[in-house]
Each structure stands twice: as structure tokens, then as C-alpha cells.
Amino acid sequence: MASSIENNNEKLTLKSSDGEEFLVEKHVALQSTLLQNMLDSDCSSADVIPLPKIDARTLALVLGYCKKHADASSSKQGELNSFDSEFLKDMDMGALFNLVLAANFMEIKGLLDIAAQKIADTIKDKPHQEVREIFHVENDYTPEEEAAVREENRWAFEGFP
């Protein structure tokens, strides 16, 4: 028992791309498969783990998610679900994409899935013009090419202008 408490209190430091350091409990960090593998392969563990692709704002969000999921016991699934749906609510697109990239990089499957779901919900049922606008996708098709693509997948464009 004593040793497990000790383990729980073990901490490590993560460093964001913009140089901010975050002190995290080990069991929280273990939500990330990337960190888990790093810790497994090197038990002595370096003092600071740099995460060069993730800025401080995003990392703070990611760690908030990990903490909630690491601390909640499995019996509180309902509570976690409502936390998850609140977590991404009203988040702007830039932050959401940073988060999805961070979750992918750090291999946090649960977070990646809810963020991907949020982006998917934004695309779903929308006309492509709107999707282009929301995500700033530049249309580089000529009108002829665009018509050819539409013809190629005619079944999918039934009912869309």
C-alpha cells in the first residue's frame, strides 16, 4: 500500500514549445501512451520532457483532460462523459485543432476521439461551400475540374447545390 501511494505522488515535468514547464503527477501523465512508453523505456527519467510541438495553452488543456480522467474511478463513467462534452464546448477552431494535434502526438486516444468527433460533427450535413469557409480550405479547382469531381461522385451530391 505504502509503495503505491509513493508512486502516485511521483511527478514529472513537461515543457511546452514556448518554454513553459508543467509539473504533472505520474498517473496523470500515464494517460498519454507516448509518455507511458517514454517512462517505460527509461525508468530513471530525465528531469524535463520537452514537447516541442505543443504550446503552453494547449498543453494546459490536455493536462486538464488527463487529470480528470486519471482521477475519476471507472464507476463514474457518466460524470466523465458529461465532462468530455463540456470540455470542447465553445472552443474555437484554432484551439480545437491544436488540441487534436497534441492528442495525436501524445497518443491520448480518448481526447483524440472526442476532438475528432467534434470536427466530424462540424462537417456533417453541411454543404461543401460552408465547410470550405469554416476551415479556410482554399478551392484550387477550376470550374471544369470541380464539375468532374462532382460527376465522379454524383451519388453523394444528390440534393446539394
Residues engaged in binding another protein (CB under 8 A): 93-94, 97, 100-101, 104, 112-113, 116-117, 119-121, 123-126, 128, 131-132, 135-141, 145-146, 149-150, 152-153, 155-160
In the complex, the smallest distance separating the C-beta of residue 45 from another protein, rounded to whole angstroms, is 27
Classify 159 in phi/psi space as left (phi over 0), alpha (psi -120 to 50) or beta. Answer: left
Cell of 147: 464539375
Cell numbers for 82, please give them.
458529461
Grid coordinates given for 125: 450535413
C-beta closer to another protein: residue 6 or 138: 138
What would the grid cell of residue 26 be?
505520474
Quote the CA–CA distance of 44 and 5 in Å, as a whole number: 19
Q: Judged by CB, which is closer to another protein: 13, or 104? A: 104
| Residue 132 beta carbon to another protein: minimum distance, rounded to whole angstroms | 6
Nearest distance in Å: CB 61, another protein: 16
Q: Minimum CB separation from another protein for residue 118, in Å?
A: 9
Pick the closer one to another protein by CB: 20 or 146. 146
> Measured between alpha carbons, how far is 117 from 128 in angstroms, rounded to an integer?
18
Measured from the CB atom, is 18 or 113 closer to another protein?
113
Residue 54, phi then psi, degrees to nearest 5: -120, 125
